[in-house]
Structure 1
Amino acid sequence: MPAPAEASLQTHPWQRWGWVMGGVWLVFLAFPVAGVVDSGESRPRVVAGVALFVLFAAVYIHGFRTMARSASDAEVVRSGVTHLVALVLICVVIHLLVGPASVGGGPYLVALAMFVLPMWAAVSLTAAVVLTTVVVTAFSDALTDTWYLPGIVLLVAVVTGVVRAIERRSILHDELAAELTVSAERDRLARDVHDVIGHTLTAMSLKADVAERLVVTDPERARREIAEVGVLSRQALAEVRAAVGGIRSARLDDEIASAERVLASAGIAADMPTDLTVVDPRHRVVLAWVLREAVTNVVRHSEASVCRVALGPSSLTVEDDGRGPSGLREGNGLRGVRERVDAAGGVLRVLDASPGTRLVVTL
């Protein structure tokens, strides 16, 4: 039986009123109660027997209600075992008073045990109840009226066992779904932060190098480069905050402009598309992320002098004239690109352009 939190009890009627479904089956206690009335025992014993069956039903319902309001699995088990022991004791007293009618409580003991005890313990209790039922009915005059009870107990055990298995599988499914959600969010955050930091730090490093070279020969331009480093650092901080908050996105026109600036800072001639309307709006965000990482890789690893970018309705091509893909290792950046493309149902190919490398993404 699940252990819902208090907040869940206010929103899930099943956890508030599920005990009613358990209580419906108490109508079948009418048969052992009728057996008590027809037992031929003295009136006080009959009255006591009927009263004990009423108490049995009350404890059974109270057990389900208490377990539904438990805040942890441990509380569910503790409450269930307590009520189970009480029910067993009531059955023993009923047997001492009026005889074999007590076995009518067996199916309810098994049903409760299947929900609260470990499976081995629940199966052991089921076997004990079946054996007790067989022995009690075999040595009584009620054998012809109660021969079916062991079968009923086994049927209840099977049905509640199946319900328990389905319930546990549902809980496991929910836990796995939650873990997958957390894992997917962690991967998204890692990709976004890597793309933001990798691209911006590359641009900052290039501008810092330019400023260092020009600090003597062209101080004014060096100051401009240093000022741009400050702008980039603040931009990176804002983008990281947005990525952590889950609201970071990429705009294709912004990434085209950023790519031109980064390539220029690295001394790489840029051949960029000017008409972005050819790109399907549904694919622009993914292609913008891919462009950002692809250009960062060109600047970092290609040793190229020219970088060309081409766009299609659902495709992006980034080509350089550098050292080519031979020996290229798929690091976090390219791996992140592949994950984004795969998630969008696309294909990423890294080809030898002789000379240079051609990265092609098709969505």
Structure 2
Amino acid sequence: MFTVGLPHQPSQPVSRRWRITGWLLAAVWLFFLNIPLLTALHQPEVWRRVLGAVTLVAFGVLYVRVFEWARGRRQAHRTIPRGRAWTALAALLALGLAGIPGTEGDWLTTLVFVAAAAVFLLPLWESLLVVVLAALTPPVTAALVPGWEAEGTVVFAVVLASFAMFGVSRLAQRNAELQGAQQEIRRLAVAEERARTARDLHDILGHSLTVVAVKAELAGRLLELDPARAATEVADIERLARQALADVRGTVGAYRGVSLATELAGARSALAAAGVAADLPETVPSLPAERDELFGWTVREGVTNVVRHSGARRCEIRIDPTAVEIRDDGRGPAGDPDAAGHGLVGLRERARRLDATVTVGRPRDGRGFLLRVTLPDDGRGTTG
């Protein structure tokens, strides 16, 4: 009976061993029906012995089945229909009453199981009503039926079993809530991982394919004017395609990393292919790994937007230990500059993890477009 609160993962099938264990632990409490069973077996008439034994066996089987049914619904996070719960209690009570010719006054022991089942099956106030009625039945019947003694032990057992089952049912409810929370955490973790993968793939392929497209366009213009230069650009396209493929594989395997120095080198090549004059730092400050990666993603996103959207002729990148800034003299993305494109959404998510601020829009002088990521200065920006 007390296995209801055992940890159980609803997403996994219940093993045969645990199903058998649940049945056994529910059935072991039926040992307390031995008193009415002994009374039935000592009846002088055969029909009384048979009636008492048969009704008690049926009572025990029904009780275990009801318990397992309710336990299964709780583990599956499903409600227990009130109509079926009341029907089950009525059937248990009817079997207990039907055995009176064989069990005599000892049939009152079955009220302990009826009260416990009510606590497990019914809402609080309805189950409390059943418990009170079950506890009052022994003294009332003793007063009304000649020869029946007041069974104080039955009253005590009804109250004790009801309190115990109340604790078990609350434990089962908390356990179900915990399992639901664990399922939600797993679902959110999967959703977060999918979002991270989609974001990384967008950032990687968006940048790489933009540069490939620009270089392919440049190579096409140079085919007749400067075949040697066109061949160089085609070779660079092949290199970028292979690098993009490696990045995609690394993203899927969660092994890929982005570094600021690598992204600056890629930015220099991409801007040159797009015919944009680049003003890039020759050296970068030594940064903690998480800042270096964030700044690398910022350079990649900023340069991708410059090449793809801006129509700029000049791009300037400035980096210090707490900030990275990409500025151009173009028109910037169409529409609201603060609109959340996929790349900027991913960049904001990465920046949020380090309490960084992402600024996009027009510079104060109103010319060109600006992307800036600023980190709080915690004294770690210049560590080696």
TM-score, L = length of structure 1? 0.74
CA distance in 2, matches of 1:315, 1:15: 60
Partner residue of 1:337?
347
Amino acid at match of 1:320: D
Shift of 1:233: 2.2
Residues 330 and 42 of structure 1: is their aligned pair in 2 closer, same or farther, counting only changes over 3 Å?
closer
Alpha-carbon deviation of 1:181?
0.7
Q: CA deviation at 1:38?
A: 9.2
- Whether 1:99 and 2:109 are equivalent positions in the alignment is no
Of 314, 327, 330, 2:336 maps to 327
Paired-residue identity, %: 29
CA contact (8 A) 1:309 1:319 kept: yes
1:244 pairs with 2:244: no
Give secondary structure in 2 for the equivalent of 1:348: strand
What's the CA shift string for 1:156-205, capped at 9, x where partnerless? 45323311220110111011011101110111011011001100111011
Offset at residue 142 of structure 1 (A):
4.0
**Kept after mapping to 1: 8 A contact 2:268/2:278:** yes
Secondary structure (helix, strand or coil) at the match of 1:247 reads: coil
State the alpha-carbon separation in 2 of the partners of residues 16 and 33 from structure 1: 22
The residue number in structure 1 matching 2:382 is none
Residue 271 (structure 1) shift: 2.3
CA contact 2:357–2:375 (8 Å) conserved in 1: yes
> Which residue number in structure 1 is paired with residue 140 of structure 2?
138
Instruction: Say if 1:319 and 1:54 are closer, same or farther in 2 by CA, change over 3 A.
Output: same
Whether the 8 Å contact between 2:197 and 2:252 is mirrored in structure 1 is yes
Q: Deviation per CA, 1:121-173, whole angstroms, max 9, x where unpaired? A: x9867755654554455213444614445544543453233112201101110
Structure 2: how far apart are the matches of 1:17 and 1:284?
56
Kept in 1: contact 2:354–2:375 (CA 8 A): no
> What secondary structure sits across from 1:216 in the alignment?
helix
- What is the CA distance between 1:262 and its match in structure 2? 0.9
Rounded to whole Å, the distance in 2 between the matches of 1:114 and 1:168 is 17
- State the Cα distance separating 1:17 from its structure 2 match: 6.9
> How has the CA–CA distance of structure 1 residues 172 and 164 changed in structure 2, closer, same or farther, with 3 Å as cutoff?
same
RMSD: 4.6
Equivalent-residue separation in structure 1 for 2:209 and 2:273 (angstroms)? 13
Question: Which one of the candidate residues 171, 176, 192 is aligned to 2:200?
Answer: 192
Do residues 297 (structure 1) and 305 (structure 2) align?
yes
**Residue 316 of structure 1 is aligned with which of 324, 327, 342?**
324
C-alpha deviation, 1:60, in angstroms: 7.3
The answer on whether the counterparts of 1:252 and 1:285 sit within 8 Å (CA) in structure 2 is yes
CA contact (8 A) 1:272 1:309 kept: yes
8 Å contact from structure 2 (residues 118, 130) kept in 1: no
Distance 2:353 2:119 in 1: 43
Q: 1:1-363, aligned counterparts within 5 Å?
A: 1=4, 2=8, 26=29, 42=43, 73=76, 91=96, 95-108=100-113, 111=116, 131-132=133-134, 134-135=136-137, 137-140=139-142, 141-143=148-150, 145=152, 146-148=154-156, 151-152=159-160, 154-323=162-331, 327-328=336-337, 329-353=339-363, 354=365, 355-356=367-368, 357-362=370-375
How many equivalent residue pairs? 351
**C-alpha displacement at 1:219, in angstroms?**
1.7
Q: Partners in 2 of 1:197 and 1:94 — Cα distance?
A: 77
The whole-number CA distance in structure 1 between the counterparts of 2:149 and 2:283 is: 92
* CA deviation profile, 1:200-252 (whole Å, cap 9, x unmatched): 11101110111121122112212222232233223222322322333332122
Describe the SS at the equivalent of 1:319: strand
Q: Report the Cα offset of residue 113 of structure 1.
A: 6.8
Deviations 1:59-104 (A, max 9, x none): 978998999999x949xx9xxx9x9999778755664432343443
| Structure 2 Cα separation of the partners of residues 110 and 283 of structure 1 | 64
Deviation per CA, 1:254-296, whole angstroms, max 9, x where unpaired?
Answer: 1111111111111222222333342222322222222211211
What are the ranges of 5 or more consecutive residues in structure 2 without an aligned counterpart?
143-147, 377-384
AA matched with 1:97: G
Residues 219 and 234, structure 2, Cα contact 8 Å, conserved in 1: yes
Quote the Cα distance in structure 2 between the aligned partners of 1:323 and 1:5.
53
In structure 1, list runs of 5 or more residues that go unmatched. Answer: none
Greater mean deviation of Cα atoms: 194-203 or 265-274: 265-274
Corresponding residue for residue 145 of structure 2: none
Deviation at 1:305?
2.4
- Alpha-carbon separation, structure 2, partners of 1:95 and 1:133: 18
Give the SS at the match of 2:286.
Answer: coil
Alpha-carbon spacing, 1:129–1:181, altered in 2? closer, same or farther (3 Å): same
